[in-house]
Structure 1
């Protein structure tokens, strides 16, 4: 009664105010009616293209990698794009065991296939197995990055109900920010003041009947601060998978600082008219490795001047971080830079590369954790997941070496041709054979019987091919190795598997 009553009262009031202007009133009335009709028709189409996603998930356990966690149910949103594809967030379907989808007013839940998933930009593509799902469907087009202070509608299936929901908001900011799903990758995000709740993830943000973003995360502090993945990132993802596989984002691979420091500019004799950023370090494996040098001033990228704060005029006169230019390049595309180096201006170009040694910093999904056991000592590659498990289980004794090598493995160039990944002794399954090994917990394994350990796979190979009577485990920064008799190790590991109910412990 309240909405109908308000509409009626307003209509009556308008007739009273405009009774002397019947033609004007009629034209305004018809215009409003037509706009309302168009909006209603538009929303009917929108409802036909938004997808409710029901997911049954079983996460892997980094601390006890032989065990699986219990199955849990969750939900999210997606939407239809060309090719009968469903676009959603990677975090909606990560570690899934079973997925069902449904559109507005459908009574059947349909099964899907996962076609592509990109954890570094939190996007995924699904496709319904049954063509019936697509009957009378609406497929969305992608729009441009929305203007600041422009209105958007976020559509989805948030918690609190089973029906489709719309939240309205305003675009309040555009900037590079960390994507929470991987915990390390940064891309452009759009900040909005619309209410984005659990279940909204993967839903479209719509402006002028086109998708201008995908809802994906919210601020932990502050009310109604939500974030969208912009269409630049969506288009990057869709272009990447055109060849049937997802490769991922490239990295420039440098540490840099702004160029506001007058003292540093004078020291390096930088002309006042140049903006740009100073290169502090060039990281091994990145695109710039072998091309840029410490103290280079990068003042132009792809013909765009870089300001002293590291930004370029990029989108509709908005300034964005210059790394946004790199972010939009695919592997093999050329990066064009102008740098000021040792008193001279130089033009430098090189191909964009994916930085594979960056992967350990990301959260891991969709595959079990690999590990190896020696006498009840558990070893894994150093990773973000094992770091989080280590913290959650309060196994932090002697962990300073672990923390340093996790955060600075790339930064301080700790890897080499001999060591591609650090291996950590992160947990002990108590048994009489390892009763004296506690002081080695949380240390990085350096050598196995005198041979440098490259990674976990290499450790397994060394252990399986070794014919020595003793096993010597040399840890970094510790002079005395941990020593076991090999025949005792084999017997103890068999007992430990039975005691702790391990399955496939050394596969």
Structure 2
């Protein structure tokens, strides 16, 4: 059977295999030309980025991990700004930039970010550096596959600038972080510290280094300048970056039997729709419609469109280019008829597990129990200990990229470990079980859990889990609430809950 393509859904493997290139990492502007003339000498536009990070501690959500000093790369761009990768400067308390060839480190602040394609813009406090360091020259074109490419930056292994060379291996539409966008694959050796660094073909920027493929050698990824320009144009307009997508799942028509079953000729072209996020009767697309064109661009049996001679990419490429008033023009084949339809687009998919996106986790401590939310950020942390979660049939794995079943749904996690307290004697639970119900009432989300405990008039509270073979926990409610202050004091924890939950607990 032809492979099913769900370009808007990140697979569990994709969540586990993303490897940012960050050295030392731990688990409206005035409108100006993006090019700004540009410098043909990339070294005059290169900077090293130093960041002090306090990442979330997912096992102790009331706390943060110890400060860590990390480094990345960046470049001067038009508008007296510096471009780098978002993951280099997220969760930072301090950001410094050091121009190539200078010993001076200058304070900078993050003024814009696109978490979807991992880009960020910095502004140094001292703008005098721009007199000596001009903006990098940005290419207007995508590089051809096979083009020689040079990647500049500050990877681990030394303090000075490094240059690695290779070729452009592939240009495709890929899922970054809930954003479908162009991505360039290169075989130049990229290492931690290269993130945010420029990749050049000739003397012009063609992409920004941001990650490598895991468990392989010499497969690195760049954010193409086309995506960089879209991001910077949004920043210049004071708009939030947007990555519209088609809220459908599709399957290729490479298989002859599939085409015959659909009543298509051998030469029929397009993608067939296998699933729709919308269940509205008047939705313009139907299951088993064949998408034959997006705008004026024909879609082939593999779901690809021609971007330029010799380069075909997924039809999703044209969604943000053609969207108008929230809709994209498409041509479909239905019951042997060719129809023109206007298809509504959607933003990031509403998944039950969402990324933290630079924020810190919500949490709620009651007695010896800590509850938090399952985020996509848990998956890389758990990748080395997957077996226990598999044996427990944990929803953390089975629903990692699943859509929400209802508005506001969250997977509520139990503690990484129980706090030591006499009322917890005799209980033992594995790390991060997923809460199913309290006193038989299904828990919808963390806020709902707080409400249930707040409003309960039952003498006992019974906590049950989705995970197989995890002990149910029963506590006297009054003892549970009374023990909370003792647990906080014994473990030097300042607050029993995150700020977003306090109004709920107080009944406001």
Superposed pair shares fold, TM > 0.5: yes
Q: Secondary structure at the match of 2:414?
A: strand
Q: Does 1:425 align with 2:437?
A: no
In 2, Cα distance between the equivalents of 1:337 and 1:438?
A: 56
Q: Does 1:460 align with 2:450?
A: yes
CA separation of 1:55 and 1:351: change in aligned 2, threshold 3 A: same
Kindly indicate whether the alpha-carbon contact (under 8 Å) linking 1:329 and 1:352 is maintained by their aligned counterparts in 2: no
Residue 266 of structure 1 corresponds to which residue in structure 2?
A: 260
Residue 227 of structure 2 corresponds to which residue in structure 1?
A: 233
TM-score, normalisation: structure 2: 0.80
Deviation string for 1:23-76 (max 9, x for gaps)? Answer: xxxxxxxxxxxxxxxxxxx98742221111112222211111122222222211
From 88, 94, 99, the equivalent of 1:92 is 88
In 1, Cα distance between the equivalents of 2:349 and 2:273?
A: 21
**Equivalence map 1:249-288=2 (5 Å):** 249-283=243-277
In 2, Cα distance between the equivalents of 1:307 and 1:281?
A: 19
Residue 62 of structure 2 corresponds to which residue in structure 1?
A: 66
Residue 303 of structure 1 corresponds to which residue in structure 2?
A: 296
CA separation of 1:391 and 1:152: change in aligned 2, threshold 3 A: closer
Residue 375 of structure 1 corresponds to which residue in structure 2?
A: 367
From 31, 43, 46, the equivalent of 1:47 is 43
In 1, Cα distance between the equivalents of 2:88 and 2:76?
A: 16
**Equivalence map 1:490-501=2 (5 Å):** 490-501=481-492
Larger radius of gyration: 1
Kindly indicate whether the alpha-carbon contact (under 8 Å) linking 1:63 and 1:390 is maintained by their aligned counterparts in 2: no
In 2, Cα distance between the equivalents of 1:114 and 1:462?
A: 40
Q: Secondary structure at the match of 2:416?
A: strand
Kindly indicate whether the alpha-carbon contact (under 8 Å) linking 2:414 and 2:432 is maintained by their aligned counterparts in 1: yes
In 1, Cα distance between the equivalents of 2:294 and 2:359?
A: 38
**Equivalence map 1:314-393=2 (5 Å):** 314-326=307-319, 328=321, 332-358=325-351, 360-362=353-355, 364-390=356-382
Residue 6 of structure 2 corresponds to which residue in structure 1?
A: none
From 152, 155, 158, the equivalent of 2:152 is 155
Residue 210 of structure 2 corresponds to which residue in structure 1?
A: 216
Kindly indicate whether the alpha-carbon contact (under 8 Å) linking 1:377 and 1:427 is maintained by their aligned counterparts in 2: no
In 2, Cα distance between the equivalents of 1:502 and 1:453?
A: 25
CA separation of 1:63 and 1:254: change in aligned 2, threshold 3 A: same
Q: Does 1:125 align with 2:117?
A: no
CA separation of 1:503 and 1:329: change in aligned 2, threshold 3 A: farther
Corresponding pairs, count:
457
Aligned-residue offset at 1:489: 0.9
Q: Does 1:203 align with 2:197?
A: yes
If each structure's helix is expressed as a fraction of its own residues, which one has the higher value?
A: 1
Aligned-residue offset at 1:443: 4.8
Structure 2: any 5+ residue segments left out of the alignment?
Answer: 1-37, 499-508
Give the superposed CA RMSD. 3.3
CA separation of 1:504 and 1:330: change in aligned 2, threshold 3 A: farther
Kindly indicate whether the alpha-carbon contact (under 8 Å) linking 1:79 and 1:140 is maintained by their aligned counterparts in 2: yes
From 149, 152, 167, the equivalent of 1:170 is 167
Aligned-residue offset at 1:107: 2.9
Q: Secondary structure at the match of 1:233?
A: helix
CA separation of 1:338 and 1:451: change in aligned 2, threshold 3 A: same
Aligned-residue offset at 1:382: 2.2
Aligned-residue offset at 1:78: 0.7
CA separation of 1:235 and 1:111: change in aligned 2, threshold 3 A: same
Kindly indicate whether the alpha-carbon contact (under 8 Å) linking 2:417 and 2:430 is maintained by their aligned counterparts in 1: no
Structure 1: any 5+ residue segments left out of the alignment?
Answer: 1-41
Residue 505 of structure 1 corresponds to which residue in structure 2?
A: 496
Kindly indicate whether the alpha-carbon contact (under 8 Å) linking 1:187 and 1:327 is maintained by their aligned counterparts in 2: no
In 2, Cα distance between the equivalents of 1:279 and 1:130?
A: 53
In 2, Cα distance between the equivalents of 1:135 and 1:263?
A: 65
In 2, Cα distance between the equivalents of 1:460 and 1:332?
A: 40
Q: Does 1:102 align with 2:131?
A: no
Higher relative contact order (CA 8 A, sep 6+): 2
CA separation of 1:89 and 1:466: change in aligned 2, threshold 3 A: same
Residue 34 of structure 1 corresponds to which residue in structure 2?
A: none
TM-score, normalisation: structure 1: 0.80
